[in-house]
């Protein structure tokens, strides 16, 4: 079996900007594609050149619709990503709302900064616009929870209920003989509106996931 390479491109040293790159069999997959949020130093990271060419990423797997997990997707699609974005059905619907709102706020912020001339840049600009979000949404492919999705030979995954927000899921990935769990964000123990987890606790086995 060819080696599996995993790289954390965000969500490390900070809780936002979640992006995990998996390289296997000459293919690239990204689990989550979040926006860096918070203090200015973190937000500026969103303007850095992406470490790999978006055209070379084959698929994105999205754990849930919070902006720190999905908010960078329009940047990748406008810069050449042409693969499929896998998520659950509710995540697709929520992501459309969240990204559209994000684009609108960014356009308004840039306009306000330029009008009041309090930007240190030549001209403030949004990271992406509503039309970039429309382009991004064309790549979405929703799935049911507990549905195995074949990405390629020897690599598949399924979403498992994580009880965090509507549609959120752990990603249970099988690569050859190996199993890898991407938790995204872990839910609350007694959700009022979501499907409750079978159990709750701090160990994966509490969520019905057994690695060994
Ligand atoms: Zn979250």
Tens-digit pLDDT profile for residues 148-187: 999 999 999 999 988 888 899 999 999 999 999 998 887 7
Residue 126's contacts (CB-CB under 8 Å, 6 or more residues apart) are 103, 106, 107, 109, 110
**How far apart are the CA of 142 and the centre of ligand 1, in A?**
18
**How far apart are the CA of 153 and the centre of ligand 1, in A?**
30
pLDDT of res. 185: 87
**How far apart are the CA of 137 and the centre of ligand 1, in A?**
20
**How far apart are the CA of 64 and the centre of ligand 1, in A?**
7
Cα Rg of the chain, angstroms: 18
Q: Are 180 and 127 in contact (CB under 8 A)?
A: no
Q: What is the pTM of this model?
A: 0.88
**How far apart are the CA of 161 and the centre of ligand 1, in A?**
13
Q: Are 30 and 20 in contact (CB under 8 A)?
A: yes
**How far apart are the CA of 193 and the centre of ligand 1, in A?**
16
Domains of the chain, earliest start first: 5-207 (3.60.15.10)
Task: Please give the average per-residue pLDDT across 93-115, as a whole number.
Answer: 93
Q: 66 or 211: whose pLDDT is higher?
A: 66
Q: Given pLDDT bands bounded at 50, 70 and 90, which one contains residue 11?
A: confident
**How far apart are the CA of 32 and the centre of ligand 1, in A?**
11
**How far apart are the CA of 63 and the centre of ligand 1, in A?**
9
Tokens of 179: 């199993």
**How far apart are the CA of 164 and the centre of ligand 1, in A?**
7
Separation of alpha carbons 174 and 149, rounded Å:
10
pLDDT of res. 94: 94
**Mean pLDDT value across the chain:** 89
**How far apart are the CA of 185 and the centre of ligand 1, in A?**
5
């Amino acid at each position: 079996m060819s080696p599996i390479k995993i790289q954390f491109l965000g969500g490390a040293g900070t809780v936002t900007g979640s992006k995990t790159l998996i390289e296997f069999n000459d293919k690239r997959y990204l689990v989550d594609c979040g926006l860096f949020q918070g203090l200015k130093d973190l937000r500026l990271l969103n303007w850095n050149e992406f470490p790999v060419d978006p055209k070379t990423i084959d698929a994105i797997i999205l754990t849930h619709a919070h902006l720190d997990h999905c908010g960078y997707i329009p940047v990748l699609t406008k810069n050449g990503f042409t693969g499929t974005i896998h998520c659950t059905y509710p995540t697709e619907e929520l992501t459309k709302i969240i990204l559209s709102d994000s684009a609108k706020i960014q356009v308004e912020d840039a306009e306000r900064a330029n009008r009041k001339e309090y930007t240190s840049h030549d001209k403030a600009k949004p990271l992406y616009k509503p039309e970039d979000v429309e382009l991004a949404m064309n790549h979405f492919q929703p799935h049911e929870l507990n549905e195995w999705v074949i990405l390629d030979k020897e690599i598949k995954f399924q979403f498992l209920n994580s009880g965090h927000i509507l549609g959120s899921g752990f990603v249970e990935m099988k690569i050859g003989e190996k199993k890898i769990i991407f938790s995204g964000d872990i839910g609350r123990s007694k959700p009022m509106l979501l499907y409750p987890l079978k159990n709750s606790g701090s160990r994966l086995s509490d969520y019905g996931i057994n690695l060994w």
